[in-house]
Structure 1
Amino acid sequence: MDALELLLNRHSNPRLIEPAPAGEQLDTIFKAGLRAPDHGALTPWEFIVFEGEQRHALGDILAEVAQAKGDAPERLEIARNAPLRAPMIITVVAKVKPHDKVPQLEQEISAGCALMAMQMAALALGFNGIWRTGWFAFDRNVHQALGLSDTDQIVGFLYLGTAQVEVRKLPERDPAQFVRYFGK
């Protein structure tokens, strides 16, 4: 797929089945993520992969945290089953490092760029995915269960697999509605 065509037609797909990327394809996806903009060459990212039975472990973490928060029983099952919506989930973490010229937000944005690059690479390889966040991404109990430090921040969960169904084409947007030229 042509790079410009990929960028102009990118879309997420929440209905994912086996297979997920593996081997060289998965390595290519990670390499794409590692090319994200990175002021100061801090490499402020970590990618935590959940596949197979490990998705159940992630679901257990999410359900336990939801229960501790006081969610209703039906919400606990939704949380427990969330990681089963795709054959692979990559949790993308901003590993924020103290730096006098590269603030926390910039490092988090860099990790977000890594996630986007990984999703685009997956699409280019014939897979699909969806970037999810939700309150779990910001919950310190989830962070602790995943072994993250106090300065780390989950920027998203990248669900990857093969599209089960084709999604509708996204509507075209007029750039003029979002662009403003300063001074004009």
Structure 2
Amino acid sequence: MSVPPPLSPNPAALEFLLHRRSRPPRMLGNSAPDREALRTLLAAATRVPDHGKLEPWRFIVLTAEACKRLAVLTKSRGAALGVDERRLEKDHSGFVDAPLIVAVISSPKPHPTVPESEQYASAAAVCVSLLNAALAAGWGAVWLTGWRATDRPFLTQGLNLFPHESVAGFIHIANEVRVPPDRPRPDTDALTTWVNT
């Protein structure tokens, strides 16, 4: 049986992770990866922890026309739910102007030892992996959720999801037109407990 070689340090990858920064929708343009480029990003996104190899997630790729359709649904559903007007306008504009959004769908599978919470964690890992893959490939990207990720009428009418499914994240991917400033980062020392015995 062959033994895999030990991992080699990858300073460039670590440097990228230490400085990665999401790009809000307002800082994204109207160009997006083509189908082949997106396939590569999706393949990278699925390289995540997945206890039991259940693949409790799937993708819905929303092109510009689909995003516009969902922007209309955002307005009607948001109004019905009483979403704050300013919040609703922001939600609408983020979809109506988007050239591409990947909806990462949490689709848990019945399993005797792998709880749904762990399966949802795997779907969340897919979101951050897709986000980082897009950024590493030179695209601007952001992971968003909000009320549309769990509103059943929106999920049914807009995305045709099954009753047990929800959106773990809407990943916006497009060219970057503005660079956001960095924001204060957590104090890892204050958040870390070392247990030695």
- TM-score by length of structure 2 reads 0.84
AA of the residue aligned to 1:132: L
- What do the CA deviations read for 1:99-118 (whole angstroms, capped 9, x no partner)? 11111111111011011111
Counterpart-to-counterpart distance in 1, 2:79 and 2:127: 28
Does residue 16 of structure 1 match 2:33?
no
Counterpart-to-counterpart distance in 1, 2:68 and 2:172: 14
Q: After the TM superposition, which segments of 4 or more aligned residues of structure 1 sit over 6 Å from their partners? A: none
Does residue 6 of structure 1 match 2:16?
yes
Maintained 8 Å contact 1:138/1:153? yes
How many residue pairs get aligned? The number is 184
Unaligned residue ranges in structure 1 (runs of 5+): none
Unaligned residue ranges in structure 2 (runs of 5+): 1-10
Aligned match of 2:138 in 122, 126, 139? Answer: 126
Bigger mean CA deviation after superposition, 90-99 or 167-176: 167-176
Counterpart-to-counterpart distance in 2, 1:74 and 1:124: 32
In the TM superposition, what are the counterparts of 1:76-87 in structure 2 within 5 Å?
77-87=89-99
| Structure 1 residue aligned with 2:162 | 149
Larger radius of gyration: 2
Counterpart-to-counterpart distance in 2, 1:124 and 1:153: 27
Root-mean-square deviation (CA, aligned residues, Å) is 2.1
Counterpart-to-counterpart distance in 1, 2:50 and 2:113: 12
Aligned match of 2:151 in 124, 139, 147? Answer: 139
- What do the CA deviations read for 1:102-155 (whole angstroms, capped 9, x no partner)? 111111110110111111111111001111111111111112121112211211
| Structure 2 residue aligned with 1:98 | 110
| Structure 1 residue aligned with 2:76 | 64
Counterpart-to-counterpart distance in 2, 1:133 and 1:172: 21
AA of the residue aligned to 1:21: P
Maintained 8 Å contact 1:129/1:160? yes
Instruction: Using the TM superposition, give the Cα deviation of residue 85 of structure 1 relative to its aligned residue in structure 2, in angstroms.
Output: 4.3
Residues 74 and 130 of structure 1: CA distance in aligned 2, closer, same or farther (over 3 Å): closer
Counterpart-to-counterpart distance in 1, 2:190 and 2:97: 35
- TM-score by length of structure 1 reads 0.90
Instruction: Using the TM superposition, give the Cα deviation of residue 35 of structure 1 relative to its aligned residue in structure 2, in angstroms.
Output: 1.1
Maintained 8 Å contact 1:96/1:153? no
Does residue 33 of structure 1 match 2:45?
yes
